[in-house]
Structure 1
Amino acid sequence: MPPADADDANLSVRFKYGIHTIFIFVDALAPFSSVTEELLAVLRERYPDGLIKSNSSPDEKTPIPDSANVTYGVLQVPTDPSRGWKVLNLGEDASNTPTKCGLKDNSIVAFAFESHDGEGDDDEEEETVFTVEWPQEDEELYDERA
Structure 2
Amino acid sequence: MATTTTHRHSATTEAAAGGLTVFAAVLLFIAGVLDLFRGIMAIANDDVYLSTPNYVFKFDLTSWGWIQLVLGVIAMTVSVGLFSRATWARVVGVGIAGLLVIANFLSMPYYPVWSLTLIALYGFVIWALCVVRRED
TM above 0.5: no
| Between structures 1 and 2, the one with greater helix share | 2
Instruction: Give TM-score, length-normalised by structure 2.
Output: 0.28
| Between structures 1 and 2, the one with greater strand share | 1
Higher relative contact order (CA 8 A, sep 6+): 2
Structure label with greater radius of gyration: 2
